[in-house]
Every structure is written in C-alpha cells, then in structure tokens.
Amino acid sequence: MWIYEKKLQYPVRVSKCDPHMAKLLLEQYGGADGELAAALRYLNQRYSIPDKVIGLLTDIGTEEFAHLEMIATMVYKLTKDATPEMIKAAGLDPHYVNHDNALFYQNADGVPWTAAYIQAKGDPIADLYEDIAAEEKARATYQWLIDMTDDVDLQDGLKFLREREVIHSLRFREAVEILKEDREAKKVF
C-alpha cells in the first residue's frame, strides 16, 4: 500500500547539540499525544469509519509516520555529538544506560509508550472528535517545544509540524460535518 520515498517530508536542521531539547522532543516520539500514537490511532479507526472519510484517516495516519521520522531525526541530530556528561546533565542518563543513543518509544519523562494511548470507540463521530482533540494537543505541544528552544533551524521544523497539526484538525472537523449531514439526511428505502 505504501511507497517509501527516502527523504523527509520537510528538511530537519539543527544548529547545535542539545540533549535537553532532544529529551523534550521524546514527548512527540513516544508520548500519549505524540506522532506514533496518532498514526496508530487513525490507521486503526479507519476500519470502523464510513467509506466517505476512510481515505482521510489513511492519509493522515500515514503522514503521522512521516512526522515520527522527522522527530526521530531531530532527536538523533540533537544528541549525536553529545558526551556522556551532556547526556547526564540533560537527564537522559537512564535512557543512555538502557539504550545508548538508540531511540526508544517513550515520553519526555522516560515513560514507555503504551497501546492505552490509542482510542477507538467505534462511533465515527466520537472517534473524529477524539482525533480533533489529539491534533489540537499535538499542536499545543509543538508550540511549547518551539518556545523551549532558541535554535531557529529546529524551530523551523517544529513550526512545520505544528502547522500540519492545524491542517489535520481542520480536515477532521470537515469529516465530522460530512458524517453529520449524512446521518441527518432523509433515508428513502
């Protein structure tokens, strides 16, 4: 179903080694409102959503994997030249001891990702409202991450991701309206 193009959706640049910022970015890598949870949520929900909007969930779920790849690249670039002392000062020493510089699905506090983050009610409108909330929480988190760094190159990539969350939220809102209209339409048998 997918074709992988070996390039990021948007260029990822960082100006400096910053393990502390890398730790904060893990929230979007393996956190409850992060990219992995979003991708899996949408690709799971598409099995119980009407055909009129199934493509939307597939498209956005797939794009969330592209965002996950961008976050992973940011974390890698922010830590690749870090010394063990820098890692420790950033509070990443427990991660380093367990995983070295490898990425692991966890949030900024080191809590491992869990499938409990994925919501699927089976009611299309309820699920879409959940998706809108997920996108708005991700948008807010990206803004707070932007606020936490003075690296303009990193901010550029984070701003791109923040704006994609806005677009996803708008698309899910449109899908809700499509399903509401369909539900309220007079059915003739």
Q: Has 63 been labeled as part of a binding site?
A: no
pTM over 0.95: no
pLDDT in tens, 50-81: 999 999 999 999 999 999 999 999 999 999 99
> At residue 188, does pLDDT exceed 80?
no
Does residue 168 have an active-site annotation?
A: yes
Does residue 67 have an active-site annotation?
A: yes
Arithmetic mean of pLDDT, 122-146: 97
Nearest CA to 138 among 78, 84, 60, 79? 60
Question: Given this model, what pLDDT does residue 1 score?
Answer: 66
| Residue 121 to residue 101: CA distance in whole angstroms | 37
**The tokens of 53 are what?**
């909007």
Q: Has 35 been labeled as part of a binding site?
A: yes
Question: What is the CB neighbour count within 10 angstroms for residue 187?
Answer: 6
Arithmetic mean of pLDDT, 149-157: 98
Domain 19-106+122-184: which CATH class? Answer: mainly alpha
Q: Has 20 been labeled as part of a binding site?
A: no
Mean pLDDT score of the chain: 94
Of these residues, 27, 64, 95, 130, which one is catalytic? 64
pLDDT in tens, 3-15: 888 899 999 999 9
Arithmetic mean of pLDDT, 142-149: 98
Confidence class for position 182, pLDDT limits 50, 70, 90: confident
Name residue 112's beta-bridge partners: 106
User: Is the CA virtual torsion 119, 120, 126, 131 positive or negative?
Assistant: positive
Does residue 35 have an active-site annotation?
A: yes
What are the extents of the domains in the chain? 19-106+122-184
Q: Has 163 been labeled as part of a binding site?
A: no
